[in-house]
Amino acid sequence: MGTRSSEEHTPPKPKTPTFQLELPLAVEAGQATRVGAHLEVGRQFYNAVLSAGQQRLRRMRADPAWQAARAIPRTQPQERKAAFAALRERYGFSEYAFHELAKGLRVSWLAEHLDAVLAQTLASRAYRALNRVCLGKARRARFKSKSRGLDSIENKRNDTGMRFVLQPGTQGRPQGYLLWHDDHIPAIIDWDDPVVAHGLAHEVKYPRLVRRRASSPRARGADRQGERYVVQLVLKGLPHHKPKHAVGTDTIGLDLGPASIAIVPRQAEVRLEPLCAELAPNARAIRHLQRQMERQRRAANPEHYDEKGRPRKRAKGAPRWKQSRGYQASRRRKATKERRLAAHRKSLHGRMVHEIVRVGHTILTEKISYKGWQKRYGSSVGRCAPGMLIDHLRRTVASTGGTLHEVPTRSTKLSQFCHGCGTFVKKPLWQRWHRCPCGIGPVQRDLYSAFLAAFLDPIESIPSCARYVIPWEGAEARLLAAHERAIQRANEGQVMPRSMGISRAGARLPKSPSEATQELLFLSKRGKVEAWKHRPEPLGLRPGESSV
């Protein structure tokens, strides 16, 4: 990510490809104290810029010209743009103006801790946060509290101020240091790791120092405050490609759900899989900790709740919230668990992406509204992060020279289409099967959508009957086989999201079209399994009935 300069003052530089490499730092106690002090000053500086910027934003929005600019219809984009630009200019609400503001705010004692360029990047950060508010993309910009602190700071370049250097070390292998003020903080470098070696062979654009909370002060690599430091190097070039990751040439249709994925290549094996099912137990542990923290917060702060246990409205001059030791410990535990979960999810995503890319490099899928999903299937989306999976896939496919086509859902409506008769029939969510009187199906609906996507024309992206007649003959059996395999794995005990239409015990073909909520079925919980077994008979279709 490069820093964007203000459009009206300097033309944007052409972007070069970048990638990142993260290296842990071996920080001594004295260094940790000094770095902590610098970051604390950085935090205060960021808050000062944010506060001054917020005032500018408020004044700008209070100006009658702001309402006038908003009233300009969107059909006149030039006028609208010019009106807003004039306002921004007048009130100094631009990245460039914030840099000027930062110059004024970076006074004597601050300057000792904060280099001019670091102050500039912090000002850019404050501007970006406020600009999101200005554009209506965020409700408000947050100040960094003392307890949470500023956890990262970055330079813009690698020749002055905070910078990363390689120096001759032992055994002919260079040693890397993060230089900041008078401190030389050694980075821990594993030269045998090809990813690290590849990264360090590239030019460093700029370094970013990141502080992370360890699970406890006794954790490995943590300082006395229980904090770890790492340096993220932003490098010029392309990331390392592991040679084991071969790239296939097939065309693949994907259907991504909040907790499942259907993969239908034109030739290779079809798959229907749950997404990140391994994460469910950890996600549950995090929820337990969340509830525990809520109890601890209540116990330590009874004055903040009324007699019915509802939180009181926050008044000016109200006593501060207290954090008990137990609460702080739970918070650290939760943060650690969340970090592990995120790392685990990332590795699962990486595996899935490479399994897909190994088969084919042309991928078609429907563009999905992740915001809408978040509202409907919050917990599944939070755990499986399908949006992140798509982003990961997009990056990987692009770096291997393939394409990921995301076709608009509104025009394609693959989940409603039947290629046998060319009709669009809306299926309710619980209906996991595509079965049409024209003779197509029954087939699991995610697999069917992915099949339609695989043979879609990305340019036209409107499904048509003629295109699918021939491929269907070859594909039908493969789709059914993939579904049978999923059923078999479910029978062997793998947890499947209910959205796949597979329940574990005795799962068979269209027997249970109504078991279709998006929550995972936790078979390990006794009570839940019992409840599941004794569920009321579904109102859905009986086998053999038609869906239209």
Contacts with Zn ion, residue ranges (CB under 5 A): 418, 420-421, 436, 438, 440
Q: Which residue in this structure is represented by tokens 């899935």?
A: 352
Query: Do residues 495 and 505 make contact, with C-beta atoms less than 8 angstroms apart?
Result: no
State the greatest distance between any 2 C-alpha atoms of the chain, in Å, as a whole number: 81
Of the two residues 438 and 495, which places its CB atom closer to Zn ion in the complex? 438
Of the two residues 204 and 436, which places its CB atom closer to Zn ion in the complex? 436
Query: Do residues 250 and 268 make contact, with C-beta atoms less than 8 angstroms apart?
Result: yes
Residue 147 identity: S
Of the two residues 438 and 523, which places its CB atom closer to Zn ion in the complex? 438
Containing 404, the helix (H) or strand (E) segment is strand 403-408
* Smallest distance, Zn ion to C-beta of residue 548, A: 8
Of the two residues 350 and 420, which places its CB atom closer to Zn ion in the complex? 420
Of the two residues 27 and 456, which places its CB atom closer to Zn ion in the complex? 456
* Smallest distance, Zn ion to C-beta of residue 444, A: 16
* Smallest distance, Zn ion to C-beta of residue 401, A: 37
* Smallest distance, Zn ion to C-beta of residue 459, A: 25
Q: Are strands 260-265 and 250-256 parallel, antiparallel or unpaired?
A: antiparallel
φ/ψ of residue 321, rounded to 5: -75, 135
Pair of tokens at residue 70: 């908003």
Of the two residues 87 and 421, which places its CB atom closer to Zn ion in the complex? 421
* Smallest distance, Zn ion to C-beta of residue 437, A: 7
* Smallest distance, Zn ion to C-beta of residue 435, A: 9
* Smallest distance, Zn ion to C-beta of residue 478, A: 20
> What is the torsional sign of CA 103, 109, 110, 114?
positive
Containing 205, the helix (H) or strand (E) segment is strand 204-213
DSSP-assigned beta bridge partners for residue 186:
177
| Alpha carbon distances (Å) from 379 to 333, 405, 460 | 20, 27, 35
d(CA 359, CA 363): 10
Of the two residues 327 and 417, which places its CB atom closer to Zn ion in the complex? 417
Helix (H), strand (E), coil (C) string for 429-453: CCCCEECCCCCCCCEEHHHHHHHHH
